[in-house]
Amino acid sequence: MIDGDATSPLRAVLRAVVARDPHERSFHRAVHDVFASLGPLCEEHPEYAEAGVFARLVEAERQLLFRVPWVDDLGAVRVQRGYRVGWSSALGPYKGGLRFHPKVDLAGIKALAFEQTVKNALTGLAIGGAKGGADFDPKGKSQGEVMRFCQSFMTVLHHHLGEHEDVPAGDMGVGERELGFMYGQYLRLTRRYEAGALTGKGVGWGGSAGRTQATGYGAVYFLEHALHERDEALRGKRAVVSGSGNVAIYAMEKLAELGATVVACSDSSGTIVDEEGIDVELVKALKERRRERLSVYADERSHAEYRDGAAVWDVPCDLALPCATQDELAEHDARQLVGNGCMAVAEGANMPCTTEAIDVFREAGTVFCPGKAANAGGVSVSVLEMQQNARRETWSFDRVDARLHEVMHDVFRRCHETAEAYGSPRDYAVGANVAGVRRVAEAMLALGVT
């Protein structure tokens, strides 16, 4: 709930958001979840509301909605919708991933772009917030189909990109393969080798060492700090991780490296339970190279169990890391986790826990690491990639990882200290929302009404 009386500026802005686009429920929720933390900030800084900061913060600076026609392998013309929402450039160029998934729509992209703006501010780096994508499903498509789609998508988008304007990266359904096809088309259209126009590139063609691992590793670093603050450690803990994509794989890899045992992971079809510890190299081979379903894992590891259609949440664990998709962990899943003794939840994905699930964790005193803080490692290493591109440098994996460690420590410290200062000790969601919004708001005040 949003604090304050019915006339509070935050409530008024939220009402206006709902009235303006009544059908955009995922966007309403994103705004509500951030605004619910901002009561004390709003009281402390009446100048924000007076300058219309909150009203401006819930409106994108620009939204691109475009047709993406492509030809499939049978010669049929197909048409997808492409999106790129530039939310805020108060702190730097637009920065945020591109998602290819059949459920992508404008409300979802707006929600993610708004979240990204708060997240990027929280990193302390000089980047604004954005998100984009298309209702295209790369699953089951041939290499040629994916390439033609990516080229068509970039044919429209390239007009709006550049290191000083908007720098997309990958997200669900957009990995190194898709980014390669898009970057190739960008180079062909612009005739300029501007490596800084896109991040998440392959290491051999302008990418940064450690970008692939950054989001998953970063989420585990954040969790490690949160546990350490309670005199706990990862070593010896049982963990479950949802998903088996980029974020999930590298979260599992780092958890195992730091002494936890990951006993379950999933894809959108089902869950693998492996009491001996998930074989991350096998998951990488299945998902990154062979593009197989996760069920194949059980064919190759006879002691593992495949649960068709099941999620990971009812597998008993100490730590749960939702690393797959939005709204994948609902209230009943949260109760199940708490009932099984789960002590900490770290969101590798964006907005994977519903508002009700987060309330369950709050009531139970479960350590909760919100995505906008815990998964900030990916975008942070994207900034390191931009820095290397600008200086024509190539940094080692160890240098990037050391910097990722520092950034995640800073993000944790900001969340922790801000939560305490605003009367919600150890509530990292409050800490993240207040610290992120405050940094954007201060820049917006300084820049005048724009």
Residue ranges in contact with ligand NDP by CB under 6 A: 170-173, 215, 242-248, 266-269, 323-325, 328, 348-350, 375, 378
Minimum Å distance from CB 372 to ligand NDP?
9
104 vs 147 by CB, closer to ligand NDP: 104
Let me know the angle formed at the C-alpha of 396 by 393 and 402, rounded to the nearest 5 degrees.
Answer: 115
Could you identify the residue written with the tokens 């933390």? 37
Strands 238-242 and 319-322: parallel
Nearest residue to ligand NDP by CB is 245
Please report how close the Cβ of residue 196 comes to ligand NDP at its closest, in angstroms: 18
Q: Shortest distance, CB of residue 163 to ligand NDP, whole angstroms?
A: 19
Question: Would you call 131 a catalytic residue per the annotation?
Answer: yes
Radius of gyration of the chain (CA): 21
CB 164, min distance to ligand NDP, A? 22
Sequential DSSP letters for 240-291: EEE--SHHHHHHHHHHHHTT-EEEEEE-SSEEEE-TT---HHHHHIIIIIS-
Give, for 351, the enclosing helix (H) or strand (E). none
Spatial separation of the C-alpha atoms in residues 3 and 132, rounded to whole Å: 32
Please state the separation of Cα 132 from the chain's center in Å: 12
User: 204 exposed, middle or buried (CB, 10 Å; 0-12, 13-18, 19+)?
Assistant: exposed
- For ligand NDP, the closer CB: 10 or 315: 315
CB-nearer residue toward ligand NDP: 166 or 422: 166
Helix then strand then coil, in percent of the chain rounded to 5, is: 50, 15, 35
Distance CA 181, CA 41 (A): 44
- What's the DSSP call for residue 174? B
Least Å distance, CB 180 to ligand NDP, is: 15
For the bound state, the minimum distance from the C-beta of residue 274 to ligand NDP, rounded and expressed in Å, comes to 16
Residue from 330, 339, 328 nearest 357 by CA: 330
Catalytic residue selected from 95, 110, 119, 131? 131
Rounded Cα distance, 21 and 418, in Å: 32
Give whole-number Cα distances, 383 to 207, 388, 405, in Å: 11, 9, 14
Distance CA 198, CA 167 (A): 5
Judged by beta carbon, residue 86 or residue 210, the one nearer ligand NDP is 210
Q: 180 vs 243, which CB is nearer to ligand NDP?
A: 243
Choice between 151 and 244, CB closer to ligand NDP: 244
Active site residues: 131
